Amino acid sequence: MRSKKMRNERIEFLRVCAIIGISAFHVLLAWFQQASGLDAIHPQAVASHANLLAESFPSMWLMSVVNLLGAWGNHVFYMISGFFLISSLAAQSRQVGFWRQQCVATLRRCVVIIVTLAFYAGIALLVNAYVMPIPGVGASTWLGMDLEFIWLYLIFVAIAPAIAWAIERIGSFRAEMLVVAMLVVVYLLNGYIAFFDQGNLDGRGLGDWRKQMSAITYLFSFVFAGLIGRRLREAQSSAEDSKLHGLVECMKSPKVLKWLILVACACIVMLTGILAFSRRNDLLYALSFKSTSVLSFVMALLALLICALPERSVRLDSQSGSRFIAAINVLAPGILGFYIAQSLMHELWYKASYYVMHGLLAQATRLSGVAGSGMLVVFFGFAILFAAAFASFVCLFDRFSRQPVLRMLRLSH
């Protein structure tokens, strides 16, 4: 486990961005579904006045970008874990006693996830029993399908040593070619799901092939990021005149990194803008449908590269810069707790945001012209601020509750 001194502030900042992106995605998801004309498929989404959003080009444009941002955040979560874990395990896999050591280390990592889940499940049960009822608490899906993201993460962490061991013996190049080829197949199938066969989301079970494709997609994000981490380790230890070292030095160039991310962002903004302006709301939704979006995958990969590649970064020695880094380091470790808390207590926090947003949208329908547009700005402003505040609150709560419990149990430093 990396010590605090070895933390990469850029990676920690990326974690925080992922948390806020996922939070905004969940706050606006039901409204986006309704505005995209999915009432019949998602009867549980009862966001009235969504027709006002569907008729607003800027509203659909913004919601489509936020939807992509949510999928991007999910990929970032898995990629950061795979980047550090798989690359580290691959480097250790030829050591004597590797499997014995990893049995203990992997069990420890899995216990952290289980304890975190139990911690927040206990809080949800207490709130439901003594404070206010939370719909869905105790249901068969509450600790099952509603937490599929966390169960997948637990499985990936458990099989990470085997993946790293296989990569080390196959060889980085062969493993990369194999994973890239399989990624092409995965995203071709994902495209078919998103644009031709989304199905009934409420009726999906573990046996549904589309549900399984979601798991496979995130697994490849986890593994591919691990391969990149492995390559960077090899490049840093290679000779300065080697091709691999030269490639990494080229990628470290601020100009290359900035142009890559700017071009990718511009493509996404233009594509979503064109679809929103053309009123192709169905295509906007399909473009960012759950885990199927190749755009979110590519953006997550670029963000990881930009944050993880060693570079001659600008130091923030000012007082404000130091405070910013300190705030990032406080919030970032709460990402696991946030994922679990927002899933287990979804109905609690969602009702709070829905009540206000429904009122704002209802007010916008009674206004016209600049006043109506201004109310839509307030609607989205509240959504973004609520998402950021909610994510920050959960991460701070996690900082002063779950994390001390883990240290007390000697599961964290």
The model's pLDDT over 96-129, given as tens digits with 9 standing for 90+, comes to 999 999 999 999 999 999 999 999 999 999 999 9
Res 41: pLDDT: 43
Neighbours of 237 (CB within 10 A): 10
> Is 244 domain-assigned?
yes
> Is 235 domain-assigned?
yes
Alpha helix (H) ranges present in 197-318?
A: 209-237, 243-251, 254-277, 281-287, 294-308
> Is 222 domain-assigned?
yes
Distances (CA, A) of 385 to 200, 203, 317, 382: 31, 33, 28, 5
Res 266: pLDDT: 93
Q: In terms of residues, how long is the chain?
A: 413
> Is 399 domain-assigned?
yes
Give average pLDDT by consecutive 10-residue segment, the chain, 413 residues. Answer: 60 95 94 74 52 90 95 96 95 92 96 97 94 86 89 97 94 90 96 87 72 93 94 70 55 69 92 93 89 93 86 52 87 95 92 90 86 92 97 97 95 83
Span 260-288, pLDDT tens digits: 888 999 999 999 999 999 999 889 999 98
> Is 199 domain-assigned?
yes
Domain count across the chain: 1
Handedness of CA 321, 389, 110, 74 (dihedral sign): negative
> Is 413 domain-assigned?
no
Question: 319 with 381: CB under 8 angstroms?
Answer: no
Domain range for residue 363?
Answer: 4-408
pTM for the model stands at: 0.90
**Angle of CA points 122, 128, 133, to nearest 5°:** 160
Beta-carbon contacts of 204 under 8 Å, excluding residues fewer than 6 positions away, are 210, 211
